[in-house]
Structure 1
Amino acid sequence: MNRIFTQKLNKNGLLFGDGAMGTMLYSRGVFVNTCFEHLNVSRPELVRQVHEEYAATGVDFVKSNTFGANRLKLSRYGLGEQTEQIVSAGVKLARESCRPDMMTAASIGPLGVDIGSYDKALRAKAAEVFAEQVKISADAGADVLLFETFSNCDELICAIEAASASCDLEIIAHMTINDSTETDYGSRIDESMRCVCRYENVAAVGLNCSTGPAAMLESIELVRGAVNKPLSVQPNAGYPRNVDGRTLYMCTPEYMAEYAKRFYEKGAQVIGGCCGTTPEHIAAIINAVRPIKKSVTYKQPAIKIPAELAERLEPAPLETKSQFGAKLAAGEKVISIEVSPPRGFELSALIEKAKLCKDRGACTINIPDGPRASSRLSAMVTALMIEQQCGIETILHFCCRDRNIIGMQSDLLGIQATGLRNMLIVTGDPPKLGDFPDATAVFDLDSIALIKVIRELNRGIDIAGKSLGRRLELVIGAGANPAAAEPEREIQRYRQKIDAGAEYFVTQPVFDDESLLRFLDAAGGSVPVIAGIWPFSSLKNAEFMANEVPGVSVPERLLERMSKLKSREDAIKTGIDISREMISRIEDTVAGFAVSAPFGNVNIALEAAGL
């Protein structure tokens, strides 16, 4: 059997497929009543262009434009006699568009007829149709067969058996589901996938189409528990909506990327997209998941601590490390104002904002490190200049994305040497498409591993287990997301961060106090938690937080409240009111608040904080 797919999957551990062909062709003016597969011969340059755009994102395989290129479906367009020409051209176009190291997956869809084991004649005819398309695809150079969007398990099995008798290619077998985790024929998806896994030539199983990524996440868990094959997912970009007579898929690339990370965490080893997805969606998925895969598979450095050194160097108490640490240790409420470093190198405006925050009574200035994978002035330099020129402490975010372990230790030693003390350790957002589309991520460590490193540095032991002679005195903070889509996993990581050495937490912006209270009650622990607060400045800003920022949940009632406002002034005032209401509801539960300054406007943040 030709096992190129399995060999690549075993080697890489994770493979990325492309996105929708029909969506791309439709966006280029091809009418929906056109036979899209016939474009392989009538407009090959258009199909090739789509393949090349997907290939440029860095996928591991592209799908041929042959989903409905079987004799039965083509006959409806009067093209049945051109089946071989259309299928062969489709596979060759995909192959010619690929890099040498990429695979071509022959896309094969259902026939659209009700195949049951009771109708032997119909089943035999279906097998003949599938076998023809499979053989043409294999002869044209396909590396793997992708059976997708099947809702009838009997029909999928018929296709698999026909493929087994026609060629030696492996199969990725996809079914489609509804919101009840069932097929359109009422079968449980886990039971259907269990039947499909019996076939040797099936190399991976999973789901595609039908629902958006959120609904598919629950179903993939069911499948994972039922099968012994690698999992593959290719969701739509959400549910289609009709806008001015056009069918549109509303999920943004960033939204898809966030769910792709969750699919990977749930065990998916093959990830791509279906209806509504574009090269932008696929690029975002790859940029989000590939660095995480690297960090997960990286062997974390073992920090060997000689017993005599560990006994001799005790970490400094929290209350002695900084004024901020002393307030946390004493149980005093802390107010931090978050301001991002500038994109250039001019700091005078930011210094004035920091002075204003100090004069109004803020405890610290919170400095993000490359927020949303952007390139800005060094967060460490920004924090140092603020502390030196304004006399107010900072909380320095420290991101795992941009440094290897050698660079991390060097920077941490530098932070100690310059007098900075308060840290917030974050794994970091993977690089996104934007100003630096070719940027790579390091991710030698994630936030939990880095917290462990700093804990040992605070005992005078470096990453290699050698004595530094003196201990560092850094206050170790970590992030938490009370509204995480997977609360159990977030709680687990929260506890792991405490065990690793976290001394306080700062949450993602909180817009739903009930989610925060549930999270804190379930997580337990005595480590201070500072709630993130984001004052809306407009409806557009509120919608951006709701739809574009991973890990943030904005209740519909708040969006509706913001939508009723007519002026910018009313929007800002209402945003401040919403933040104050949130602070009032949770102030007895948390250690303080980290209030963001929307678009750098610290006056809004100070008003929201009541300063």
Structure 2
Amino acid sequence: FFERQVNGLLAGGVDGFILETFADLNEIDCAFTAVRKLGDLPVIAQMTLGQNGKTVYGHTASQIAQELTSIGADVIGLNCSVGPAVMLDAIEDMADTTSVPLSAQPNAGLPRTVRDRKIYMATPEYMAQYACRMVDAGARFVGGCCGTTPDHIKQIRDLVRSDQPRPVMVRVTDVDQERSATLDPVPLEACSAWGRKLSRGEPVVSVEVLPPRGWDRNAIVEPAHELKDAGVDSLAIVDGPRSRSRMGALSAAVIVEQEVGIEAIVHYTCRDRNMLGMISDLLGAAAAGIRNLLVVSGDPSVHGPYPDMTEVFDIDSIGLTNVVTGLNQGLDPAGNSIGDPTKFVQGVVANPGALDLEREVTRFRYKVEAGASFVVTQPIFNPESLEEFLDKIHQWKIPVVAGIWPFLNLRNAEFLANEVPGATVPEKIVDRMRKAQISGDEEALNEGVEIAAEMIDAVRPLVQGFHLSAPSRRVDVALRVLHEAGVSTNT
């Protein structure tokens, strides 16, 4: 197979070969062998990694460097699948393993869906900055892969020279009320403590924590204890963020509520389950005492380390909101009775900084009409965009909880700004982190906390509460932000 390609290229007069986007070391070995069997032209051998820094077969960057060095490639490196931040970490690991020249061609961040098109959001300036960092780390060939434009290449050339998803169908369906009589939903106040505070207009605070990648229950129980002791209303548990495998959010929520006694808000994604699976999950969750949900469509699998993973998307977050509303009225989507109605307090997500704001407002309206009880925004870094969004949705009255993300360091800020779908970070915020990082990680963390506290102060009059992320499971950072912003909890 590879020999046929090599023969054809040699006949065409190529000056060298680039073996790129390989995920299997055995496969790239076969391709390299075919090139060497038929000639001695230079070979650049490049593998591709996922967001976890490994190939789909589990090979690390160091293992890739060792293997490609041993087979005799002239240049070895990485391309595609990830943005500059993840690739920089991998290049640093490879540089510690080999003396062979390294190459790096990251994607221009990760794509966002805008009007059913995939658009890569990393700017030419961002790509060029990371190209310089990769050169500093040991790369000798730098460029870009998916989403890279001539402007990206020009910026990379100039700076290096001077220095060294799938689109989702929206389904808004009404439950067929004729097959079985609906039951009155349980009042929000009687569903959960979170629902009670929302219904009374009282301020709420939740902190979002990643579940562990393994099955160590202490990894979720310990931060839950810390948050309960601090008086936080709810612990929000993310469901397969960025299409990476972690402990299931529903299972983690049951553990937290039973062992710690703090209410959980379960992020529940439509990406991985068909309709039957979602209904079964939700009925089981209701039986286990789970009451609070944050319904999301889910990140496309292109963002994760499993490129062959299938996406289900029987419905999106709007459709699932309809399903939960039906369950809260005692009916499944087919209009069949489930007995007593469930008691879910269901939230949805909105992005005030969306590139297509009108579409975002339309989707928000659909979510409210489908039965959403509250909305959590994407992280706020531009209070004016939130105010504009709220002006456009003022006629749909549900509690708004502002997302707040404290940066740990400059890399965290740049990554969120350029490679996380749904996040919008103004350049002036990144510049503040860049200046702070010059003085070290501690000063950068201080600046990240200060920015988060400023966002809380700016939007406090506009919202009913705050939903803080605990980056890298740093619950202490989230609590510090609340303290410095003067946000009271239940202690």
TM-score, length-normalised on structure 2? 0.68
Select the residue among 502, 505, 519 that pairs with 2:389.
Answer: 519
Structure-to-structure mapping, 1:179-198, within 5 angstroms: none
Structure-to-structure mapping, 1:71-110, within 5 angstroms: none
SS of aligned partner of 1:309: coil
* Residues 1:239 and 1:579: Cα distance change in structure 2 (over 3 Å): closer
* Residues 1:237 and 1:519: Cα distance change in structure 2 (over 3 Å): closer
Aligned to 2:94: none
> Which entry has the higher C-alpha Rg, 1 or 2?
1
1:551 aligns with 2:422: yes
1:595 aligns with 2:468: yes
Of stretches 589-598 and 548-557 in structure 1, the one that deviates more from structure 2 is 548-557
1:306 aligns with 2:306: no
* Residues 1:301 and 1:495: Cα distance change in structure 2 (over 3 Å): closer
Aligned to 2:444: 571
Q: Which amino acid aligns with 1:531?
A: A
Structure-to-structure mapping, 1:64-75, within 5 angstroms: none
Q: Which has the higher contact order (CA 8 A, sep 6+)?
A: 2
Aligned to 1:444: 314
Deviation at 1:274, TM superposition (A): 6.6
Distance 1:346 1:431 in 2: 25
1:534 aligns with 2:405: yes
Deviation at 1:473, TM superposition (A): 0.9
1:42 aligns with 2:13: yes
1:345 aligns with 2:215: yes
1:464 aligns with 2:334: yes
Aligned to 1:427: 297
1:576 and 1:604 in contact (8 A); partners too? yes
Deviation at 1:305, TM superposition (A): 2.1
1:238 and 1:249 in contact (8 A); partners too? no
Deviation at 1:427, TM superposition (A): 0.2
SS of aligned partner of 1:296: coil
* Residues 1:526 and 1:237: Cα distance change in structure 2 (over 3 Å): closer
Q: Which amino acid aligns with 1:528?
A: P
Structure 1 vs Structure 2 CA RMSD: 3.4
1:236 and 1:276 in contact (8 A); partners too? no
Aligned to 2:205: 335
Distance 1:491 1:336 in 2: 24
Q: Deviations over 1:288-307 (max 9, x none)?
A: 32xx3xx429x887742227
Fraction of identical pairs, as percent: 41
Equivalences, count? 368
Distance 2:118 2:456 in 1: 40
Select the residue among 410, 414, 432 that pairs with 1:561.
Answer: 432
Deviation at 1:468, TM superposition (A): 1.4
Deviation at 1:585, TM superposition (A): 1.0
Distance 2:424 2:303 in 1: 23
Deviation at 1:370, TM superposition (A): 0.4
1:356 aligns with 2:327: no
1:506 and 1:594 in contact (8 A); partners too? yes
SS of aligned partner of 2:181: helix
Q: Which amino acid aligns with 1:498?
A: V
Q: Unaligned regions of 5+ residues in structure 2, if any?
A: 1-7, 24-107, 154-164, 484-488
Aligned to 1:111: none
* Residues 1:451 and 1:40: Cα distance change in structure 2 (over 3 Å): farther
Q: Which amino acid aligns with 1:420?
A: I
* Residues 1:360 and 1:40: Cα distance change in structure 2 (over 3 Å): farther
Q: Deviations over 1:407-426 (max 9, x none)?
A: 00000100110000000000
Distance 1:237 1:580 in 2: 27
1:380 aligns with 2:250: yes
Deviation at 1:435, TM superposition (A): 3.6
Deviation at 1:403, TM superposition (A): 0.4
* Residues 1:479 and 1:237: Cα distance change in structure 2 (over 3 Å): closer
Q: Unaligned regions of 5+ residues in structure 1, if any?
A: 1-36, 55-211, 222-230, 257-272, 279-287
SS of aligned partner of 1:366: strand
Distance 1:331 1:434 in 2: 38
1:249 and 1:276 in contact (8 A); partners too? no
2:321 and 2:370 in contact (8 A); partners too? yes
Aligned to 1:389: 259
SS of aligned partner of 2:247: coil
Aligned to 2:31: none
Distance 1:382 1:555 in 2: 34
Deviation at 1:436, TM superposition (A): 2.2
